[in-house]
Amino acid sequence: MPPQTTPPPRQPGWSTRSVHSGDKRPFPHYSLNLPIFQTATYTFESTEDLRQFMQARLWGPVEGRTEYGRYGNPTVAAVEGGLAQLEGAGDAILFSSGMAAITTTLLSLLSAGDHLILTDDSYRRTRQFCLTVLKRLGIECNLVAAGDLDQLEAAIRPETKLIVSESPTNPYLRVLDLERLVQIAKRAGVKSLIDSTFATPINQRPLEFGIDLVVHSATKYLAGHNDVLAGVVAGSESLVALIRQELWVMGATCDPHAAYLTYRGLKTLALRVRRQNETAQRLAEFLEGHPKVQRVWYPGLASHPDHDVARRQMDGFGGVVSFEVDGDLQAASQVIDSVRLPLIASSLGGVETLIEQPALMSYFELSSEERLKVGIKDNLVRLSVGIEDAEDLIADLDQALLRID
C-alpha cells in the first residue's frame, strides 16, 4: 500500500474568517465580545516594571503592553490583527479615518525631492493631498489615466518612489491589472499602494498579487453601518512598522470605541458584501437596458472597459454602480429626488442604499466645464447598494427614471 499522506488543512471560508479573524480567546473575564478598553494611559507596578518594559521596547513593540494610548490599545490591536489576517498581511494599522491612513502612509514613505504617481480616477481628497500638501513639501505628483498602464510606466522617473491607485476606482470603477502593475513597479524598484476600499478583502486582496500596501476607508464596507470613522493600512511587518512610527508622531490613532464598531462590522462583512455584489450586478444589468440610461459603469458588465481584468482578479464586482442618465444636471437631480428607498448621502458600503450626484456632492464648487476636465459629467449618478431586496430597488429606480422629462 502507498504511504498515507495527511491532506493539507482546509482553508476556512470568508464568512468564517470574517467572524473569527483576530480573536485571541478567551477574552478577559470570558466575555463573548471583544471588550472596549476605554483608557488613554496605562499603569506600571513599579519603576522596575517600567524599566523592563522600556528595555524590551528598544527591540520593537511589546505585545500586550504599552504606556500611552497613542501607542496602542488592546481593542484596537485585536481589530488590527483581524484585518491583517483578512488581507493576508504581516501587520495592519487602524487609523482615525481613511484619509488619516492614506496621508500618514504617504508622509511615511516620501521625502522632499521624491516623485509620486497617482491615477486620476481617485478620491478627490487623495488627489488634493498629493497635488497640494505634498507639493508644498517638495514632493511632486503626476496624474495618469487609471486604465493606461503604458502611460503609468512611462511616467516613472529615477526619483519615483511610489505608485498609488484605487482599484476599483471612484466613481467609474476602473480595475487596474494588479499583476502587470506589480511587474512595472518591481522593474523600476518602486513601491505600490492600492486603495481597495470599494473591493474589500472579500472581493480582492492586492497583497496576493505583490502590491506592497493596501489601504481601506474602514468607514465604508469594513464597519458597514455608517456609524464610525476609521481607516486601515496593511502590508509587510517592516513597512507597517515604519508607518506606525509616523502614526505615533502624527497622532491619527483610532479610538477604542470606533475600533469596536469596526470589529462588530467585520463579523458580517462577507455576508453583506456578497449580498451587495449580487444586488449591484442585477441593478447594473437593469440600468444598462433602461431607455433613460445612457451608460452604466460596473465591472460586472461586459461593456465595462476592465471587465476581463475584474473577472480575472476579483471574487466579486462590488456594491457601487455608477450610471449616466439620459439628460443633463437637472435630469440626474430629478432621478435622485424621485427615488424612495436610496438616501441622498455621501459615502458607501453601509446596509442602506445611498445615492448621490458627484457633480453636486463632491464637485459643486466647479463649473460644468471644470468638472468635465476631471472626468465628472453632470448627468452622472453614483449608487452605493445596501442590503435591501433587489426587486424593490429595481422598481424604485425604474419609476424614478421614467420621470425624466
- Listed by start position, the domains of the chain span 14-37+73-266, 270-401
CB 143 within 8 A of CB 166: no
pLDDT of residue 11: 84
DSSP state for residue 387 in the 8-state scheme: S
Check if CATH label 2.130.10.10 holds for domain 14-37+73-266: no
Q: Please return the burial class of 29, using the count of CB atoms within 10 Å of its CB with bins 0-12, 13-18 and 19+.
A: exposed
Going by pLDDT thresholds of 50, 70 and 90, the confidence category of residue 8 is: confident
pLDDT of residue 350: 97
**Of 15-29, 98-112, 261-275, 315-329, which range is least confident?**
15-29
List the one residue out of 372, 319, 366 whose CA is nearest residue 347: 319
Q: For the residues 204-217, what does the mean pLDDT come to?
A: 98
Strand pairing category for 343-344 and 140-144:
unpaired
List the one residue out of 315, 285, 278 whose CA is nearest residue 301: 285
List the one residue out of 110, 35, 60 whose CA is nearest residue 244: 60
Q: Is the pLDDT of residue 2 over 70?
A: no
Provide the greatest CA pair distance for the chain: 78
Q: Please return the burial class of 313, using the count of CB atoms within 10 Å of its CB with bins 0-12, 13-18 and 19+.
A: buried
CA 213 – CA 211 distance, rounded (Å): 6
Q: For the residues 143-155, what does the mean pLDDT come to?
A: 94
CA 394 – CA 383 distance, rounded (Å): 12
| 120-155: b (≥16 Cβ within 10 Å) or e | bbbbeebbebbeeebeeeebbbbbbebbebeebbeb
For 357, the 3-state DSSP assignment is coil
Name the E strands within 243-379. 293-297, 320-325, 343-344, 354-356
pLDDT of residue 255: 95
The DSSP code sequence of 136-172 is HTT-EEEEE-TT-HHHHHHT--TTEEEEEEESS-TTT
CA-derived radius of gyration, the chain: 22
Task: Tell me what percent of the residues of the chain surpass a pLDDT of 90.
Answer: 82
The DSSP code sequence of 39-99 is -SB---SSHHHHHHHHHHHTTSPPTT--SBGGG--HHHHHHHHHHHHHHT-SEEEEESSHH
pLDDT of residue 405: 79
Enumerate the β-bridge partners of residue 232. Answer: 94, 216
pLDDT of residue 58: 84
Among 24-33, 113-122, 362-371, the range with the most confident prediction by mean pLDDT is 113-122
Task: Tell me what percent of the residues of the chain surpass a pLDDT of 70.
Answer: 98
Q: Is the pLDDT of residue 254 over 80?
A: yes
Instruction: Tell me, yes or no, if the two domains 14-37+73-266 and 270-401 fold the same way.
Output: no
pLDDT of residue 366: 74
C-alpha cell at 135: 507639493
Going by pLDDT thresholds of 50, 70 and 90, the confidence category of residue 115 is: very high
List the one residue out of 349, 358, 366, 403 whose CA is nearest residue 382: 358
Handedness of CA 152, 155, 158, 164 (dihedral sign): negative
pLDDT in tens, 34-90: 999 999 999 999 999 999 999 998 887 788 889 999 999 999 999 999 999 999 999
User: Position 177: which residue type?
Assistant: D
Q: Is the pLDDT of residue 298 over 80?
A: yes
pTM score, whole prediction: 0.93
pLDDT of residue 1: 54
List the one residue out of 340, 339, 376, 341 whose CA is nearest residue 361: 376
User: Position 302: which residue type?
Assistant: A
Q: For the residues 210-216, what does the mean pLDDT come to?
A: 98
CB 20 within 8 A of CB 270: no
CA 401 – CA 196 distance, rounded (Å): 31
Fold of domain 270-401 = Aspartate Aminotransferase, domain 1 (3.90.1150)
pLDDT of residue 63: 82
Stronger pLDDT, 254 or 376, i.e. the higher one: 254
User: Position 313: which residue type?
Assistant: Q
Stronger pLDDT, 108 or 365, i.e. the higher one: 108
pLDDT of residue 14: 87
pLDDT in tens, 301-357: 999 999 999 999 999 999 999 999 999 999 999 999 999 999 999 999 999 999 999
Q: Is the pLDDT of residue 190 over 90?
A: yes
Q: For the residues 218-224, what does the mean pLDDT come to?
A: 97
Stronger pLDDT, 20 or 99, i.e. the higher one: 99
**Of 27-41, 209-223, 246-260, which range is least confident?**
27-41
Enumerate the β-bridge partners of residue 297. Answer: 322
List the one residue out of 220, 241, 316, 258 whose CA is nearest residue 14: 316
Whole-number mean pLDDT of the chain? 94
Q: Which residues have a catalytic role annotated?
A: 70, 123, 195, 220
pLDDT of residue 4: 65
